[in-house]
Structure formats: C-alpha cells, structure tokens
Amino acid sequence: MKYLFGPVPSRRLGISLGVDLVPHKVCSLNCIYCEVGRTTNLTIERKEYVPIDEVLEELNDYLAQKPDLDFVTFSGQGEPTLNSGLGKIINFIKDNYPQYQIAVITNGTLFWDSQVREDVLRADVLLPSLDAVSKMTFLKLNRPDKELKIDQIIQGLIELRKEFTGKIYLEIFFVPQMNDTESELAKLKEIAGKIKPELIQLNTLDRPGTESRVKPLSRKRLEEIAEFFKPLPVEIISKPETRKQINSFNQDISEQILETVSRRPSTDKDLSDILNLHLNELNKYLSELIADGKIEAVKQKRGLFFKIRDQGNNSTN
C-alpha cells in the first residue's frame, strides 16, 4: 500500500486505517518536537501532493474488503489539509463507505481558509493542535511558514467550531519551559474556552523528536496543567491500548515494521502491540532489519526506540 498504512491501534481512535496525503515531509510547521523528522518543504500552498485518483483507488480496493476498523484517519508524515484533494476523498468515503468514521489529525494552521473548513465538514472527528497563543512561543516551538500568523490560526479554529458539527479534540503538546509557563497557560486556557472543543488533550514527548534537546514534560506537571484547565474538558493522552484481534494486517511483517517506524519511532513493545506479534517473534525481525542496515535503535528515557536508519543528518529521525 502506497498511501494507506496500518491499521494501527491509535491513542484516540481505536483501530484506525491511516491515509497519508503528503510525502515526507511537507508541512506548514517545523515543530521542534516533531516525531517524523524535520520539515523539508515548509509551505502553506495547497495542491495534490500525491495523486488523488491513486489514493481513491487504493482506498476503494481496501475498504471493499469490509475491514474491521473504527476510523479512517488522515494523518501521517506531514500536514494532510495541505492536499487540495482532501475534501474529495472524505466525500468519497462518506458516499461509498458510510459505516466508517473519519478523523483528520491536523496541525490546525489552515482553517482560516474557508475552503479547508469546507473540505473537512463531513469528517466525524477533527484533532487540531494548538501549542501556543503568544507569537514568540509559536515561532520558537512550531517554527511556522513565514506567512502564518498565530492570531489568524486561532480565528480559523474559532470559525471552524461554528461550522463543524462533529467532535473537535484539541491537542496541546507541551515542551518544558516553552509553553508551560504561567502566562502561556493562561492564554491557552482562554483561547481553548473560545474554541470550545469537546476535549482538550494534553500531550508531551514519548518518542525521539526532531531535536534531541527537547525533553518531555513530567507526568506531575501535566497533571497540574490538567487541573488548571478545569472546568474545561481536559485529559492527558495515555498510551495506545493493546488490541489482540486485528484481522487486516499486511502479511509482510518486515515491511509493516518499516512502514510503522518510518512514521513514528517505536519501542519493541509499541511494535508488538501494533503488529499483534509476540516480542520474541518481533525481535527476530528487528535483528534482521538492524543487520540489514534498514533501522537503528536509539536510547531514550522510555526505553529503546527503533527508527529508520539515519541518512547522515543531525535529525534524530
């Protein structure tokens, strides 16, 4: 599969088939904590970064087999709303496979554009991010395309809420001493109250990010922040649940491991959960892929993470 990946058990969406609408790494941001590597095409230009007809064909072939899924989720290696064909694909799924829910995981930077808001109208769940409200924090943390203005992004999210009738889960990704200061938290809470998401989800790093200097926020601090956000609906995002029965995996396990770690560096436990494979069995594949020079292991606080072998730049992805 070229544009589809998984299905994977996701933190927020159960069993989810991923659809990747932009190549690595097209994004309107270049976040310092990004788990899929540095942005190489920093842009707000919308176009068919991958051919929509090919995506539709792949989706049609896959969904016609009636796979056991909770969601079809647009996410992956960059920002999905940058693909100008997003609305066409969402409409295709809703018209032909209405039994599947649709989610869009987005950095939320383009909803000031009414066409982007219209494109996602038939989705069931939108998961936009908003990590900063003040200009300086936004620039330092998210390193945006130069055309993007944080006030405009916030206004776009408020407009989206007025038009979109599905659920909005607003994610805030915390990096210590960047956006967990008292003043930033107060502004984030005020703006989140205006966006009125069904849920505010607090997140921090649990895999290697783009910059090795970026560290996770402690669980204790996340809990303090969750308290601060109340009475707004807030939760700390937990780890993915193990799903014992997923019927529709790729047969080729090595390929599946490569697909997974190319999108997100993962521990052997993560991979074992995602692939529903015993750790001992999985380790044979990992050893082979390391011996072949295709992946490498990187030590982090939460354990050993496997990722695509570095191509010689300073990125940890």
Q: Is 81 in the site for ligand SF4 (CB under 6 A)?
A: no
CA dist 92 and 83 (Å) reads: 15
Residue 81 CB neighbour total at 10 angstroms: 28
Name which position in 34, 69, 275, 286 contacts ligand SF4 (CB under 6 A). Answer: 34
User: Pairing mode, if any, of strands 199-204 and 234-236?
Assistant: parallel
Q: Is 86 in the site for ligand SF4 (CB under 6 A)?
A: no
Q: Is 30 in the site for ligand SF4 (CB under 6 A)?
A: yes
Question: Could you tell me if residue 268 is left (phi over 0), alpha (psi between -120 and 50 degrees) or otherwise beta?
Answer: alpha
- Say how many CA atoms lie within 13 Å of 194 toward its Cβ: 15
Contact between residue 63 and residue 83 where contact means Cβ atoms under 8 Å apart? no
Q: How far is the CB of 74 from ligand SF4 (least distance, A)?
A: 12
CA dist 89 and 100 (Å) reads: 13
Name which position in 15, 29, 185, 214 contacts ligand SF4 (CB under 6 A). Answer: 29
Q: How far is the CB of 39 from ligand SF4 (least distance, A)?
A: 5
Contact between residue 296 and residue 306 where contact means Cβ atoms under 8 Å apart? yes
Q: Is 83 in the site for ligand SF4 (CB under 6 A)?
A: no
DSSP string, 37-73: ---SEE----B-SS-HHHHHHHHHHHHTT----SEEE
Read off the amino acid at residue 136. Answer: M
Measured from the CB atom, the residue of 43 and 134 that comes closer to ligand SF4 is: 43
Cα angle for residues 2, 144, 179 (degrees, 5° grid): 110
User: Pairing mode, if any, of strands 4-10 and 41-42?
Assistant: unpaired
Contact between residue 120 and residue 89 where contact means Cβ atoms under 8 Å apart? no
Contact between residue 217 and residue 175 where contact means Cβ atoms under 8 Å apart? yes
Name which position in 20, 79, 184, 273 contacts ligand SF4 (CB under 6 A). Answer: 79
Q: Is 260 in the site for ligand SF4 (CB under 6 A)?
A: no
Binders of ligand SF4: how many residues, by CB under 6 A? 10
Strand-pair partners of 174: 204
Q: How far is the CB of 33 from ligand SF4 (least distance, A)?
A: 7
Q: Is 248 in the site for ligand SF4 (CB under 6 A)?
A: no
Q: Is 254 in the site for ligand SF4 (CB under 6 A)?
A: no
Q: How far is the CB of 142 from ligand SF4 (least distance, A)?
A: 6
The mark string for 131-170 relative to ligand SF4 (x by CB under 6 A, - otherwise) is ----------------------------------------
Q: How far is the CB of 297 from ligand SF4 (least distance, A)?
A: 22
Measured from the CB atom, the residue of 9 and 76 that comes closer to ligand SF4 is: 76
Measured from the CB atom, the residue of 7 and 78 that comes closer to ligand SF4 is: 78
Measured from the CB atom, the residue of 39 and 179 that comes closer to ligand SF4 is: 39
Q: Is 78 in the site for ligand SF4 (CB under 6 A)?
A: yes
Name which position in 13, 15, 22, 36 contacts ligand SF4 (CB under 6 A). Answer: 36
Residues 99-128 that bind ligand SF4 (CB under 6 A): 107
Q: H-helix or E-strand containing 172?
A: strand 167-174
CA dist 60 and 15 (Å) reads: 18
Please report, as ranges, the residues that interact with ligand SF4 according to CB under 6 A.
27, 29-31, 34, 36, 39, 78-79, 107
